[in-house]
Structure 1
Amino acid sequence: MKLSPLIPKSAFHGLERVTWLYSGAETPPLQGAAQALEAYIRNRELGPDGRAKNAEIEQSLRKRLAQLLNGRAQDIALVSNASEAITLFLQSLRLQAGDNIVLHTLEFPSGMLPVLLLQELGVELRLVPHRDWQVSGDDLFARVDARTRLVLTSHVSFVSGVRLDYRSLYARLRETQTLLLLDATQSLGAVPVDLQAADAVVCSSYKWLMSLHGLGVLALNPARLRDLRPASAGWRSVQELFHADRFATFEYHDDARRFELGFPNYPAIYTMNFSAELLLGIGIDRVEAQIERLAGYLIARLSEAGYEVMTPREPERRAGNVSFVCEQGELVAARLQGTGIYVWGGDGRLRASVHAFNDSDDIDRLIAALPAAAAAEGGSVHA
């Protein structure tokens, strides 16, 4: 099977030298990102007029993210990273002793760590174990009761690549008082994500959205969060800075900007505005279809070679991350890196991530290189 890139490799810096199956960690830099950074520098030279230009680009990005999320520009807060977005949201819930949060064992530490801190307040962590590297909405909903304030889950697991059916889960949670926080860091930019089927969505900037580090998205669905009040405040959070009574009181913005504290990372905003325009121009449905074909081809090649694949075969139950068992994943990934093939290894597995710039040749190179990489490190990639 021959699969060509949907985005040409020439659109990126460095892809002529390496095989990049690493998008679950980060994507290669786009050629257009350098031009976007240059535009930021030129606008910075303009002083006050440059700030006006920054505001225009920022609003453009909010609108494009809203398109990707099926939301509104005013529902998007721009923060430093996904971890900060999760923490800001959790703090705003003002949880009390006896409340509980439901998570699962395929969750990334950025979701787990702030919940562990909440245990000091008497908040219960209800941890749902995976079954054969998979978890379902039914598994999560089974742990929900009257004191469950939040279900926190990734859309796509960084561990196994399984894609959660969050829409059906949210339909059930809407009948309760329990909120749904969806981490789309491993999905936004690769497959459709719907803010209307969650209470909040968070995402980082440098993976499937193909921007730089240092920007996080916190998207709020106002259906159940219209009165959600942050536990912090900064000059970007409030409607008016220099009113006469500013040393006594303030008013938050009435949209998602109330979660923003100070200036955001404008270089990352400029580059994400470019990459979001690129993805929207292609169409996220076409990107998803390309990723589904590539991931299906990768799973088939791995299975034929005898590797134990952790990622579901069904297209609707996966996205761009494909994981398979590898006892010494870090060592094998390092060996592959030395041959110019970038994958992620650790926790007893290797993860190869396919995006719209990948092709079947990338996958064939990985399959051909795996046996030698495992043997050279004394590792084991086993079925």
Structure 2
Amino acid sequence: MVGETARAPRRDRVSVTAVRHAFGESFDLEPGYLNTAAMGVPPRRAAAVMAEEVTRWARGRCQPTDYDRDVATARAAFGRLVGVGADRVVLGASVSQLVGLIAANLPVGARVLVARNDFPSVRFPFLARRPDVIVDEVELDHVPDEVAGHDLVAVSVVQFGDGRIVDLEALRSAAEASGARVLLDATQALGWLPLRLDWADHVVGAGYKWLLAPRGPAWLTVHPDRWAELVPYAANWYAAEDPWQGVTGGSLQLAGDARRFDLSPVWMAHRGAAMTLPWLAGLDLSAVHRHCVGLANGFRAALDLPPADSAITTLDRPDAAERLAAHGVVASVRNGRTRLAFHLYNTEEDVALALAALRR
């Protein structure tokens, strides 16, 4: 069952859908949805805009240039969530594709440090694409201690499998002392964990989990000191200084900032991202953090487990996934453990439902 989502049949759950209000937005969310670490649920407003956009498309009313503002809006909001300007943000389609850009630019013989059992999209671009580099895998807690002697450290801020958080301050200090570059995957952190990662060489994140956007957009920040070092292996019309001039017969010239590494956008998905990312970037993320971690720690306390201080928690209990699914709780199984994720739209009702399922 590894990698599966545990849930009850949909026909048993449709009638209990209710509107929830959280941090200024409303959600059509079924009780017991604790699976944001796999897929986020959009606000009603964003879902309505996406439905309207599909209708416009079906009626032949969409044009490619319609989405330029959405792309720029989501790009800038991602930068604010990370703590950098929009000029540092690269547009991509997935974490693995963007990590692959960094992997492709490593010199032969480079040494890369990764965390054992980190998400495959962080590790696999180095392991599979670059057999001429050396990849060392260590336990997450040991990553800061092993930085010396490596050219690049690639690690998730929050581990997808169990919610553990890397010691960012220790990692930063170790990288500055040794001169190693740092690539952080913030996919499981952005949207609930307040972060300022302007010091990192690269920060990557996908939009369809905690950022509540449609699947399609992903972003990568590139420190200005690295712009000249990276070869834009996927150079395309959208990476030009003026993309629309290039496709109408004008001369092509790479953008002067991090846009030179862009992929062309998944247009409609960016319309949804332009709704959710600015809203999240404008919230008091300390309050969001307290809410999410408070629910997760409360759930753990009720099961006599110590606090984990993460929005993601796991259970090492063989029957947990089946019990939760039988009572309408949507969770996932990762690395043999049942994973639950508490986001800003979750409430004590979700905690109570999950606890009731486990206690019966």
Shared fold per TM-score greater than 0.5: yes
- 2:277 & 2:326 partners in 1: Cα distance? 32
SS of residue in 2 equivalent to 1:174:
helix
2:352 to 357, 364, 371: 364
Amino acid at match of 1:355: H
Change over 3 Å in CA distance of 1:365–1:234 after alignment to 2: same
Q: Name the structure 2 match of 1:156.
A: 158
Match of 1:282, SS state, is: coil
Q: CA offsets per residue over residues 178-199 of structure 1, 9 Å max, x none?
A: 1111001100011122231311
% of aligned pairs identical?
Answer: 25
User: What does 1:1-383 align with in structure 2 at a 5 Å threshold?
Assistant: 7=22, 11-13=26-28, 15=29, 17-38=30-51, 40-41=53-54, 50-91=63-104, 93-96=105-108, 98-121=109-132, 123-129=133-139, 135-136=140-141, 139-146=142-149, 148-239=150-241, 241=246, 251-262=253-264, 264-303=265-304, 313=307, 315=309, 319-327=310-318, 332-372=320-360
- The SS at the match of 1:270 is helix
Note closer, same or farther for the CA distance 1:351–1:244 as it changes in structure 2 (3 Å cut).
closer
In structure 1, the gaps of 5 or more residues are 130-134, 304-308, 373-383
- The whole-number CA distance in structure 2 between the counterparts of 1:77 and 1:341 is 36
Residue 142 of structure 1 aligns to which amino acid in structure 2? D
User: For 1:88 and 1:36, how far apart are their aligned partners in 2?
Assistant: 32
Provide Cα deviations, 1:283-323, integer angstroms capped at 9, x if missing partner.
Answer: 222211211211221221122xxxxx5xx7363xxx31011
In 1, are the aligned partners of 2:95 and 2:122 still within 8 Å (CA)?
no
Q: Cα 1:245–1:346, aligned 2, differ >3 Å: closer, same or farther? A: closer
Which gives a bigger RCO, structure 1 or 2 (Cα 8 Å, sep 6+)? 2
Match of 1:380 in 2: none
Q: Deviations over 1:71-113 (max 9, x none)?
A: 111111121111212112221x2330x3211011140111121
Does the CA-based 8 Å contact 1:104-1:127 persist in structure 2? yes
Q: 1:226 to 1:34 in 2, by over 3 A?
A: same
- What is the one-letter code of the residue matched to 1:259? F
CA contact (8 A) 2:31 2:350 kept: no
CA distance in 2, matches of 1:370, 1:242: 58
| TM-score, normalisation: structure 2 | 0.84
Letter in 2 for 1:340: G
Structure 2 CA distance for partners of 1:243 and 1:276, relative to 1, 3 Å: closer
| Partner Cα separation in structure 1 for residue 25 and residue 281 of structure 2 | 19
Question: Whole-Å Cα distance in 2 between the matches of residues 95 and 18 of structure 1?
Answer: 50
Correspondence for 2:5: none
1:325-355: CA deviation from partner (whole Å, max 9, x where unpaired) = 1246xxx424522421011124221111101
1:378 aligned partner? none
Change (3 A) 1:176 1:229: farther
What amino acid is aligned across from residue 94 of structure 1 in structure 2? L
What's the TM-score once normalised by structure 1's chain length? Answer: 0.79
The 1:8/1:257 distance shift into structure 2, 3 A limit, reads closer
Q: 2:316 corresponds to which letter in structure 1?
A: V
- In structure 2, what is the Cα distance between the partners aligned to 1:201 and 1:120? 23
Tell me how many residue pairs correspond in the alignment. 337
SS at structure 2 position matched to 1:33? helix
- Write the distance in 2 (CA, Å) between the matches of 1:297 and 1:140: 29
Deviation at 1:245, TM superposition (A): 10
- Pick closer, same or farther for the CA change 1:34–1:164 going to 2, 3 Å: same
Q: Is there any run of 5+ residues in structure 2 with no aligned partner, and where?
A: 1-19
